[in-house]
Amino acid sequence: MRKYITPAVGLAVASGGWIAYGVRNGWGPVATASALAIWAAVIGITVRQARRHA
pLDDT tens for 3-53 read 656 676 777 778 888 888 888 999 899 999 998 898 888 888 878 877 776
With 0.75 as the threshold, say if the pTM is over it: no
Structure confidence by residue, pLDDT tens digits, 17-31: 888 888 899 989 999
Between 54 and 46, the more confident residue is 46
Rounded Cα–Cα distance for residues 6 and 50 (Å): 10
Rounded Cα–Cα distance for residues 12 and 34 (Å): 16
Q: Where on the phi/psi map is residue 27: left (φ > 0), alpha (ψ -120 to 50), or beta? A: beta
